[in-house]
A = this chain, B = another copy of it.
Amino acid sequence: MKLSEGVEWGLHCVSVLAGLPSGATLPTKTLAEYHGLSETYLSKHLQALTNARIIESVPGPRGGYRLLRLPEEITLLEIVEAIDGREPLFRCTEIRQRGPLACEASAQAYRLPCGIHVAMARAEKAWREALKTQTLADIVNQYTQDVDPQQQQRRNQWMSERLRSAPKKS
Protein backbone atom coordinates (compact mmCIF):
# COMPACT_ATOMS: atom_id res chain seq x y z
CA MET A 1 0.00 0.00 0.00
CA LYS A 2 2.15 2.82 -1.19
CA LEU A 3 2.53 5.30 -3.97
CA SER A 4 5.43 5.06 -6.36
CA GLU A 5 8.52 6.99 -5.43
CA GLY A 6 8.14 8.85 -8.72
CA VAL A 7 5.24 10.81 -7.25
CA GLU A 8 7.61 12.70 -4.97
CA TRP A 9 9.93 13.33 -7.91
CA GLY A 10 7.14 14.59 -10.13
CA LEU A 11 5.64 16.87 -7.50
CA HIS A 12 8.99 18.49 -6.79
CA CYS A 13 9.79 18.91 -10.48
CA VAL A 14 6.51 20.60 -11.36
CA SER A 15 6.96 22.83 -8.30
CA VAL A 16 10.30 23.96 -9.67
CA LEU A 17 8.82 24.51 -13.11
CA ALA A 18 6.03 26.55 -11.56
CA GLY A 19 8.59 29.03 -10.27
CA LEU A 20 10.10 29.73 -13.67
CA PRO A 21 9.50 32.89 -15.74
CA SER A 22 6.73 32.53 -18.31
CA GLY A 23 7.80 30.50 -21.33
CA ALA A 24 11.10 29.37 -19.86
CA THR A 25 12.06 25.70 -19.77
CA LEU A 26 14.46 23.39 -17.95
CA PRO A 27 15.86 20.16 -19.44
CA THR A 28 15.63 16.78 -17.75
CA LYS A 29 19.30 16.88 -16.90
CA THR A 30 18.93 20.04 -14.84
CA LEU A 31 15.83 18.81 -13.01
CA ALA A 32 17.55 15.53 -12.21
CA GLU A 33 20.75 17.20 -11.07
CA TYR A 34 18.93 19.70 -8.88
CA HIS A 35 17.13 16.94 -7.01
CA GLY A 36 19.90 14.35 -7.15
CA LEU A 37 17.85 11.89 -9.21
CA SER A 38 18.52 9.42 -12.01
CA GLU A 39 18.22 11.36 -15.25
CA THR A 40 16.97 8.50 -17.40
CA TYR A 41 14.34 7.36 -14.95
CA LEU A 42 13.12 10.86 -14.18
CA SER A 43 12.68 11.24 -17.91
CA LYS A 44 10.02 8.53 -17.82
CA HIS A 45 8.03 10.39 -15.22
CA LEU A 46 8.31 13.65 -17.14
CA GLN A 47 6.96 11.83 -20.16
CA ALA A 48 4.00 10.69 -18.11
CA LEU A 49 3.36 14.27 -16.99
CA THR A 50 3.59 15.37 -20.61
CA ASN A 51 1.06 12.77 -21.73
CA ALA A 52 -1.25 13.97 -18.98
CA ARG A 53 -0.97 17.47 -20.42
CA ILE A 54 0.39 18.91 -17.18
CA ILE A 55 3.77 19.91 -18.59
CA GLU A 56 4.92 20.53 -22.14
CA SER A 57 8.10 19.45 -23.87
CA VAL A 58 10.26 21.55 -26.18
CA PRO A 59 12.62 19.35 -28.19
CA GLY A 60 15.98 20.32 -29.57
CA PRO A 61 18.85 22.45 -28.27
CA ARG A 62 17.77 24.95 -25.63
CA GLY A 63 14.64 22.85 -25.15
CA GLY A 64 13.25 21.27 -22.03
CA TYR A 65 10.03 21.17 -20.03
CA ARG A 66 7.65 23.82 -18.79
CA LEU A 67 4.17 23.96 -17.32
CA LEU A 68 1.34 23.74 -19.81
CA ARG A 69 -1.16 25.44 -17.52
CA LEU A 70 -1.17 27.91 -14.64
CA PRO A 71 -0.25 26.47 -11.23
CA GLU A 72 -3.69 27.46 -10.00
CA GLU A 73 -5.24 25.14 -12.56
CA ILE A 74 -3.20 22.05 -11.77
CA THR A 75 -4.43 19.88 -8.89
CA LEU A 76 -2.27 17.49 -6.94
CA LEU A 77 -4.62 14.69 -7.93
CA GLU A 78 -3.77 15.21 -11.58
CA ILE A 79 -0.07 14.94 -10.88
CA VAL A 80 -0.41 11.89 -8.67
CA GLU A 81 -2.63 10.11 -11.18
CA ALA A 82 -0.41 11.00 -14.11
CA ILE A 83 2.54 9.24 -12.50
CA ASP A 84 0.95 6.54 -10.43
CA GLY A 85 -2.07 5.66 -12.54
CA ARG A 86 -5.78 5.88 -12.02
CA GLU A 87 -6.55 2.46 -10.60
CA PRO A 88 -8.31 2.46 -7.23
CA LEU A 89 -6.30 1.88 -4.05
CA PHE A 90 -8.66 -0.87 -2.99
CA ARG A 91 -9.12 -3.68 -5.47
CA CYS A 92 -12.41 -5.54 -5.14
CA THR A 93 -12.13 -8.95 -6.77
CA GLU A 94 -15.74 -9.86 -5.93
CA ILE A 95 -14.74 -12.64 -3.60
CA ARG A 96 -18.33 -12.74 -2.37
CA GLN A 97 -19.14 -14.47 -5.66
CA ARG A 98 -16.42 -17.09 -5.38
CA GLY A 99 -17.57 -19.41 -2.62
CA PRO A 100 -19.45 -22.72 -2.97
CA LEU A 101 -22.77 -21.07 -2.10
CA ALA A 102 -22.46 -17.97 -4.18
CA CYS A 103 -22.65 -19.24 -7.70
CA GLU A 104 -26.16 -20.55 -7.87
CA ALA A 105 -29.25 -18.48 -8.52
CA SER A 106 -27.97 -15.40 -6.76
CA ALA A 107 -26.91 -13.28 -9.71
CA GLN A 108 -29.77 -11.03 -8.69
CA ALA A 109 -28.20 -10.22 -5.33
CA TYR A 110 -24.88 -9.25 -6.87
CA ARG A 111 -26.26 -6.35 -8.79
CA LEU A 112 -26.13 -4.49 -5.49
CA PRO A 113 -22.56 -3.41 -4.79
CA CYS A 114 -20.74 -5.12 -1.93
CA GLY A 115 -20.99 -3.10 1.29
CA ILE A 116 -17.28 -3.52 1.94
CA HIS A 117 -16.45 -2.25 -1.50
CA VAL A 118 -18.69 0.77 -0.94
CA ALA A 119 -17.09 1.58 2.40
CA MET A 120 -13.57 1.40 1.01
CA ALA A 121 -14.55 3.49 -1.99
CA ARG A 122 -15.95 6.14 0.33
CA ALA A 123 -12.58 6.53 2.06
CA GLU A 124 -10.79 6.60 -1.24
CA LYS A 125 -13.04 9.37 -2.47
CA ALA A 126 -12.10 11.44 0.57
CA TRP A 127 -8.42 11.01 -0.35
CA ARG A 128 -8.97 12.03 -3.95
CA GLU A 129 -11.08 15.01 -2.93
CA ALA A 130 -8.36 16.21 -0.59
CA LEU A 131 -5.83 15.98 -3.42
CA LYS A 132 -8.19 17.66 -5.84
CA THR A 133 -8.76 20.69 -3.64
CA GLN A 134 -5.05 21.45 -3.35
CA THR A 135 -3.41 23.02 -6.37
CA LEU A 136 0.17 23.39 -7.43
CA ALA A 137 -0.11 27.09 -6.58
CA ASP A 138 -0.91 26.24 -2.97
CA ILE A 139 2.23 24.16 -2.78
CA VAL A 140 4.54 26.63 -4.45
CA ASN A 141 3.57 29.26 -1.91
CA GLN A 142 4.68 27.06 0.93
CA TYR A 143 7.57 25.62 -1.03
CA THR A 144 9.32 28.94 -1.54
CA GLN A 145 8.57 30.20 1.94
CA ASP A 146 10.57 27.45 3.56
CA VAL A 147 13.90 28.49 2.18
CA ASP A 148 15.87 31.20 3.90
CA PRO A 149 16.76 34.28 1.80
CA GLN A 150 20.41 33.43 1.30
CA GLN A 151 19.62 29.90 0.23
CA GLN A 152 16.85 31.12 -2.04
CA GLN A 153 19.19 33.51 -3.82
CA ARG A 154 21.76 30.82 -4.39
CA ARG A 155 19.00 28.61 -5.78
CA ASN A 156 17.74 31.35 -8.07
CA GLN A 157 21.18 31.95 -9.51
CA TRP A 158 21.80 28.25 -10.04
CA MET A 159 18.50 28.04 -11.88
CA SER A 160 18.98 31.13 -13.98
CA GLU A 161 22.31 29.80 -15.24
CA ARG A 162 20.45 26.80 -16.67
CA LEU A 163 17.24 28.46 -17.83
CA ARG A 164 16.11 28.17 -21.43
CA SER A 165 13.71 30.37 -23.32
CA ALA A 166 11.60 28.97 -26.09
CA PRO A 167 8.71 30.33 -28.09
CA LYS A 168 5.21 29.18 -27.19
CA LYS A 169 3.84 26.38 -29.27
CA SER A 170 0.76 26.74 -31.46
Contacts and interface: CB of A to CB of B under 8 A. Distances in A.
Interface string A103-131: 00110110010111011101111111111
B95 A37 contact: yes
Q: Report which residue of A15, A101, A106, A129 has the largest number of chain B beta carbons within 10 angstroms of its beta carbon.
A: A101
A90 B7 contact: yes
Interface of A: 1-5, 7-9, 11-12, 15, 33-37, 76, 80, 84-85, 87-93, 95-96, 98-102, 105-106, 108-109, 112, 114-116, 118-120, 122-131, 134, 138-139, 141-143, 145-148, 151, 154-155, 158
A46 to B, nearest CB: 15
A158 B5 CA distance: 46
A87 B2 CA distance: 8
B85 A1 contact: yes
